Amino acid sequence: MKYIFVTGGVVSSLGKGLTAAALGTLLENRGLKVALQKFDPYLNLDPGTMSPYQHGEVYVLDDGAETDLDLGHYERFTSTKLSRKNNTTSGQVYQQVLDNERAGRYLGKTVQVIPHVTDEIQRRIQVLADDAKVDVIITEVGGTTGDIEGLPFLEAIREFAQDAGPHNVCFIHVTYVPFIKAAGELKTKPTQQSVAKLREIGISPNVLVCRCEKPLDKDLRAKMAMFCSVPFEAVIEHKDVDHSIYEVPLMLQRERLDELVCRVLGLTVPPASMTHWQEIIRKLIAPQHRVRIGVVGKYIELQDAYKSVYEAIIHGGVANDCGVEIEKLDAEDIEKFGPEKILKGLGGILVPGGFGERGIEGKILAAKFAREHKISYLGLCLGMQIATIEFGRHVIGLKGAHSTEFDAHTPHPVIALLDDQRKVTKKGGTMRLGAQPCQLTLGTKAQQLYGAFVVQERHRHRYEFNNAYRDKFAKADFVFSGTSPDGKLVEVIELANHPFFVACQFHPELKSRPNRPHPLFSSFVAASLAHAGAMLGVNVHMASPDGYQLPHAVVQQATSVARHGARLRLFADAADAVAAREVFRVGRKLQRRHPVRVLLDAVLEAAVLGAVYLQDFVGTAERDPALAAHARRAPRPPPRHECKTPPPSCCSTPTPTRIGSTNPSPPPDT
């Protein structure tokens, strides 16, 4: 068994979890079996009772464990099967030590941090090693080197490494190399100090993973190698990625991190084949389609509050070769300004899970707007409860319908506390948690999307649809498409007369992967793209003349114009665009000599929601030297007079027209 320990220094939030997950991906693609583990120094037993402002999202595993969000990275990047054994907190360790003391298992000895706490930490590493049956275990130590809370974990892994032997353990230290703008250079001193602190504890890192904004030159690498006592090739550059976290494995592979780790551990395995991962990145960077999807929540200013939801939406985009522009929308803004102003122009609306009354009415308005305007809707946990409340109020006519979580005295409690939750008094670990079976109804949209009749999905909730109202909802075309196997708990609902309105009581985002997108998310993105295209009624096509490559700036502008869901395609010749039979009023434009002006009508049609000047759009291309050269070579036909009014009274030069105006004038020929 081989062991890798990932520590962090200088500051928190450096991406230790991503580094560990990306390394796991590379090792798996070398043919190794990998397990990942997270040590969290906080005294909470788990993050289940923490505020999103403190911790971000709570990531739930199949066995019901409420864990750190880094375990989401582990599952999204690797095939490892996680359980509560893969996440250990100081609270869990100390609780176990005190339980052992009460049970008399220490034979009357004084209980101390060393050896009893550190022994318990080491025991948890060994338990995972015995159960996982893998080749390599990667353990991430949370917090920052030098934090008093993390010292027992660092001492524990130092002792563990001593017992395991030098060729069976690799220490990776993730550190920060800041760029000082005033000095115009990267500074290595924080890294030196961080490594010095780690060595005081007795741990000498084998590899430095250096987070930085600018590239590390040869001299900087040599300096850190010398002062931190690591080989030159063991100083790994980890720059901020340009597009997606899924670029990290490829970046670390280019830095030969996996090769270096295998050498330290004495592993002889073939190089990692990352072809499938490269295709994922291609779809993320250069998708064929684009769509805007709004996520309506109350923690939208927090990057990690809905982390798994955002990632699952991106996975759905990958499945459809579609770039998704995620609009993070505050539910309270919808209450203040109205749904029309906030939600107009979206291809899809998603309401994620959550707790608490704040922003509830805004989420209800979002569900109502999606239902009435036939916008694709996906509700998760609370999002399903919201859809139920909205439908009860505005379709069935249940005045004051609500959830008892938010209104204990509602006349119509369409959402109520689960029966087995009524006597629960403690908060932590007491909800309906983990993987539960869901039976899908034949012929429903949900059943068709899954392609199965029974699925396992992860839950985290206390409230559920109130069965006393099931008949009323069913008569109003509110479809119960998934239930618990005994039929008592509603798990999935959908609307029969809506293109895509699906909501579930569970959290499908927790089981979505970039290479295995969850069917609900891939279908939701597809439906959102279809809605956006129908809303615009056009596919945007850009045509360029033979022998000329449209400049990048033009393509960027065209993509921006199409951001509301119109599909963007590039044609080498205008005739090819016409042959596609998907453009509007192009016949006249094809006779104009300007090569970029071929399909301006189509661009205009598609950009009604944009704020782009046609003149600017054309001018970007006109300023391109290659186009100017092409225009000089091309034959220039005499200008055509296309107006019904005789010249010159009709043909004064029009002013630039903003796309979206009522009667836009075409830009003048130049």
- Residues assigned a catalytic role: 381, 507, 509
What does the chain come to in residues? 670
Tally of CB atoms within 10 A around 521: 29
The structure tokens listed for 606 are 């598609």
Say if residues 490 and 363 touch (Cβ distance below 8 Å): no
Using alpha carbons, list the distances in angstroms from residue 64 to 44, 70, 126. 17, 16, 22
3-class DSSP state of 242: coil
Residue 336: what residue type? K
H or E element that contains 282 = helix 275-285
Handedness of CA 443, 446, 447, 450 (dihedral sign): positive
d(CA 416, CA 428): 20
Q: Is the dihedral of CA 528, 533, 535, 541 positive or negative?
A: positive
Range list of H helices, 464-594: 470-475, 519-536, 552-561, 574-579
Distances from the Cα of 148 to the Cα of 40, 41, 95, 153, 164, angstroms: 13, 9, 18, 10, 25
* Burial of 538: CB neighbours in 10 Å, binned 0-12, 13-18, 19+: buried
| Residue of 38, 58, 15, 57 lying closest to 249 (CA atoms) | 15
Burial bucket for residue 336 (CB in 10 Å: 0-12, 13-18, 19+): exposed
In 234-392, the DSSP E strands lie at 235-239, 289-297, 322-330, 348-351, 376-380
Tell me the C-alpha distance between 215 and 255, whole Å.
12
How many angstroms separate the first and last alpha carbons of the chain? 72
> Would you tell me the crossing angle of helices 90-102 and 151-164 to the nearest 10 degrees?
80
